[in-house]
Amino acid sequence: MSSTSSAARIPVQTSPISCKELTLRVLVLGILLSVVMGAANVYVGLKAGMTVSASIPAAVMAMLLFKLLFRNSSILEANQVQTCASAGESLAAGVIFTMPAMVLIGFWDSFDFWSVTVIAVTGGLLGILFMIPMRKVFILNNTELAFPEGVACAAVLKSGDESNTAAAQQGEGRNLLLGGLIGAGVAIAGKLFGVIAGTLEVAASTGSRIFYFGGDLSPMLIAIGFIVRLNVALLIFIGGAISWLFAIPLLGGGELYPIALDGAYEIWSTQIRYVGVGAMVLGGFASLMSVRHGLIAAVRELKNNLANSNLSKPDLDRDIPAWAILSMGLGCVVVLTLVNYSFTGGYGITLLSTVVMLVMAFFFTAVASYLVGLVGNSNSPVSGMTITAVLVAGGMLWLFNYTGMDAMVATLGVAAIVCCAASTSGDICNDLKTGSIVGAAPFRQQIMQIIGVFVAAFVMSPVLNLLNNTVEGGIGGRELSAPQASLFASLARGFSGETALPWDMIALGVLVGAAILVADAILKRRGTTFRAHLMPIAVGMYLPFGIAIPILIGGIIAHFHVRGSAAPDHDRVLQRGVLFSSGVIAGEALLSVGLACLTALGVQSLDPGLPAGVVTLISVITAAAVIVAFFKLTKPRLL
């Protein structure tokens, strides 16, 4: 089935629904979930290098809580809650992919509260404001984009609205809670008691070759793989295999490292993962070219909104007024200019970096909106867009002869705004598609998105400081490797003249990316269901390989459930598993943040000091038990 035909059949609500939409309970629950999802995804993103869309989990939780507590709740109320809650997750991605680089380059000793908060608010707000004029272009007037996650979220909302039995409500709540207990239990066993290893990995040297294999013991990563499904999970694994199983042994240099495991990580971090950078750069520019016509249409739409009164339109066709968009946008520009000046102290570099960040944020808002419609919010290659922005900003600053710390900070400032804008714009595009299907008013969703971004921005810095100060190795260490931020820090150092970038590896990555694009075009032409999307492969190249293994396991489990079901609606088949997986992610992530709080209060690990062999044995048994439990507890009821 082509994307055009499937998108064309997406049902859109064209007449208003007579029920409540924005209420006090919606605001309270939406704000609460925005904070919780934001805090949880700070940990998820720093560890896994990716976040998972919070729209479906938040929609399920909202429907569940409203049905249990309020009999007169509506589907539109639940939709507004998930709109606000998902803003926390999307903003977390924008912040954690970039802001830790400020600490890694030595500009900050800790995460400055007001700087992080202001960048998060303005970057997230720009993403929303830039996307609003594109709503008709990408959501209403585009038959190519299928919006897989937006449609799935709408299906979940409608299914929950139709399910009024107490047994169904209790089953959904039990599944969510059970997932949370499993995720939290493994986190407690590993991080508090030390009886489970974080990663099972081994490396060996043979002459100059280093051979590595390993996997993280994290139910959260299996849950991520289940949600993104086999195609994306397999692509991430392929990228990891290219880097760790083939490129590291081929590159050689193992004789330089007495410990093979340390050598594998060093070769990957200083050389191999830059192949993934080159591939993502190509992917970013390819994505930009694919939405050039949409950008022009969005500018025309903004002009039309300025010329015509928005108040006379029906609710289902109303956006935030154009004058409000321009006013808030101008305020963001002023604030960002002041922030850039406070970072660099120079008028020229402030003006240049501000212009670059605004232009890049606008362009990649369109790219993110388009790609969310194409592959879903969880699979949107925000990292690739941000890397492209880093290279453009670094190149412009280099051309104007700006170097040193000022150039690094200005480059990372551009990256932060672009990343926050791309993350939130993709999220609101996904949410607005859901809203168009269930009959929500666009301007009310846009208001909830702004509220969610504003509230979530205030928890980013405290959580980042907490994790950086309490997790072993801090942010950038083994547990929280923060791969994107580490990469952006390296790129900023390279452009500023602090270090030399491995341009040969980046160029090789561009060639690899070109080959993948050609392969994907061939697969698309043949109409195969499996696609070789460039960004997930490139992401796998620069993630630690241990992350790819459990993600692949989760994708395989989801594939078995879909394959074993006769139901054509795969989203409905996997709904029970997605709910369970969401609980696992929330349980492990929030418990990890909670343990960090205990560490900050002086509570030490209760490690009993078991021999390494015993810990390994317990870890293997636990991993097997989690996989079996995952397979059984995510099995759809349709089977």
Helix (H/G/I), strand (E/B), else coil: 120:
helix
With beta carbons less than 8 A apart as the criterion, state whether 99 and 460 touch: yes
339-376 pLDDT per residue, tens: 989 888 888 999 999 999 898 888 888 777 777 776 56
pLDDT score recorded for residue 2: 35
Q: How far apart are CA 97 and CA 424, in angstroms?
A: 13
The separation between CA 483 and the C-alpha centre of its own chain, rounded to angstroms, equals 13
DSSP string covering 53-110: --HHHHHHHHHHHHHHH-TT--HHHHHHHHHHHHHHHHHHHHHHTTTHHHHHTTS-SS
Whole-angstrom CA distances from 478 to 183, 216, 287, 465 are: 20, 11, 32, 17
With beta carbons less than 8 A apart as the criterion, state whether 274 and 502 touch: yes
Any idea where the domains of the chain sit in the sequence?
Answer: 19-165+176-633
- Greatest Cα-to-Cα distance within the chain, rounded to the nearest angstrom: 75
DSSP string covering 334-397: HHHHHHHHHHH--HHHHHHHHHHHHHHHHHHHHHHHHHHHHH-STT--HHHHHHHHHHHHHHHH
pLDDT score recorded for residue 211: 92
Q: How far apart are CA 325 and CA 501, in angstroms?
A: 40
Write out the two tokens for 67: 């049905």
Write out the two tokens for 459: 């928890």
Write out the two tokens for 145: 């984009």
Write out the two tokens for 47: 């560890």
The neighbour count for residue 621, using CB atoms within 10 Å, is: 11
What single-letter DSSP state applies at residue 216?
Answer: E
Q: How far apart are CA 621 and CA 408, in angstroms?
A: 46
With beta carbons less than 8 A apart as the criterion, state whether 59 and 156 touch: yes
Cβ neighbours for 104, distance < 8 A, ≥ 6 positions apart: 475, 476, 482, 485, 486, 489
Q: How far apart are CA 307 and CA 230, in angstroms?
A: 47
Half-sphere exposure (Cβ direction) of 513: Cα atoms closer than 13 Å: 28
pLDDT score recorded for residue 116: 92
Write out the two tokens for 505: 């590896």
Q: How far apart are CA 332 and CA 124, in angstroms?
A: 10
pLDDT score recorded for residue 394: 82
The neighbour count for residue 152, using CB atoms within 10 Å, is: 24
Query: How confident is the chain (639 residues) per 10-residue block, as mean pLDDT?
Result: 38 55 87 85 76 71 76 83 85 86 88 92 92 80 68 72 56 75 88 84 87 88 84 89 91 83 86 84 73 66 60 69 88 92 89 91 81 65 75 84 86 89 86 86 90 92 88 78 81 76 88 91 86 81 85 91 68 76 78 73 71 89 92 76
For residue 511, the cross-strand partners are none
For residue 210, the cross-strand partners are 205
pLDDT score recorded for residue 170: 58
pLDDT score recorded for residue 255: 80
For residue 203, the cross-strand partners are 212
For residue 213, the cross-strand partners are 202
Rg of the Cα atoms in the chain: 23
> Element (H or E) spanning 199, and its range?
strand 199-206
pLDDT score recorded for residue 531: 82
Whole-angstrom CA distances from 566 to 16, 266, 407, 529, 598 are: 35, 47, 57, 17, 48
